[in-house]
Structure 1
């Protein structure tokens, strides 16, 4: 299957993408991983992206599209893939369509993870990270440490990242509404969108998504 995963920041796209890709035996292709891999390997696209990033500028769509198209052409993606973070806007969605048509392929579904905006803010703004080890993550409401402000694992100080503040989260949501949400209507016109309620346990959301995909293939 060839799937695009969309949803606001804090919807759990990365977590769901990993589980779904494993269950479907297809590669999880995320924009973040594409950038890291191309930059670390020093590919022409990676060097171009780094030059923009070092200058504090946005990486042009053409670079992101080039990385995605290269990755979709790998052998492990021959039978399908799950795209996470791409396409991010209408221009990228149209380029993806052109790529797929050029290779006689098509998308099977666009999974839209639906989360109320207040819940998104609560999820992200409540996140607390350990200063000693950033892999130790807690939450002010959903995963409280035994001692407030102290990591249960290593005793490090827990803090809120600047980009997790409520104001920053609401700004990120505004960018999502302006740039990314229009692709949902674009794909609805192609009858590809399946809305998945993303509240509840991670396993429950995964089960909903898998059930929806199974229904599509029947």
Structure 2
């Protein structure tokens, strides 16, 4: 099962990813984590990324795609994976598709957790209040102005990716504002349909 989970900050991607990892024995792949691991391991592509980051340059798409390619070849990704934080642009989506195709693989599903922006802001503010009341540190990225910017950035991303994946017949949307269990059941239903179509 090879998935991409899309959704703005606070939509519940982390919660749903954890459940999917457990239910389907797949791995969650964060490009940030993979990049740091490749640098730490001193792999050829990791060394290339390290040099670029040391110069304060952005890591180009082909390096990120190579890091994803190397990571999905590892044994724990044999059952599949959830991509987190990638792709973010149409160019990255095309590069990911070409890389998977070269391996004889394709995405089973791209699921977007769609949310109401105002309700999402309320959810994030409530999370910050509850953390403060419990004496826990609040996340700096939970500040309302930061959240608004991150939602706007996300909308720019998904505006490019949605038509691309719809065209390929793998895009689906789930109401991310529904209770956690309901969202999980809807995702499971989509994945069951995707499996039935693939077999």
The TM-score by the shorter chain falls in which range? 0.7 to 0.9
Match of residue 194 from structure 2 = 216
Deviations for 1:174-217, whole angstroms, at most 9, x for unmatched residues? Answer: 22122343111100011111111112333332122112211333
Match of residue 151 from structure 2 = 173
Q: CA RMSD in A?
A: 2.3
Which has a greater percent of helix? 2
- Number of aligned residue pairs: 196
Please give the secondary structure, in 2, of the residue aligned with 1:170. helix
Corresponding residue to 1:194 among 140, 165, 172: 172
The higher relative CO (CA closer than 8 Å, separation ≥ 6) is in: 2
In 2, the alpha carbon distance for the partners of 1:115 and 1:84 equals: 18
Alignment partner of 1:123 is 2:123: yes
In the alignment, structure 2 segments of 5+ residues that lack a partner are none
User: Which of the two has higher C-alpha Rg?
Assistant: 1
Shift of 1:55: 4.7
In 1, the alpha carbon distance for the partners of 2:189 and 2:87 equals: 24
In the alignment, structure 1 segments of 5+ residues that lack a partner are 128-138
Q: TM-score w.r.t. structure 2 length?
A: 0.85
Contact 1:5 / 1:13 at 8 angstroms: preserved in 2?
A: yes
In 2, the alpha carbon distance for the partners of 1:192 and 1:91 equals: 18
Contact 1:90 / 1:180 at 8 angstroms: preserved in 2?
A: no
Pick which of 174-183 and 66-75 moved more: 174-183
Please give the secondary structure, in 2, of the residue aligned with 1:86. coil
Shift of 1:53: 4.0
Shift of 1:66: 1.5
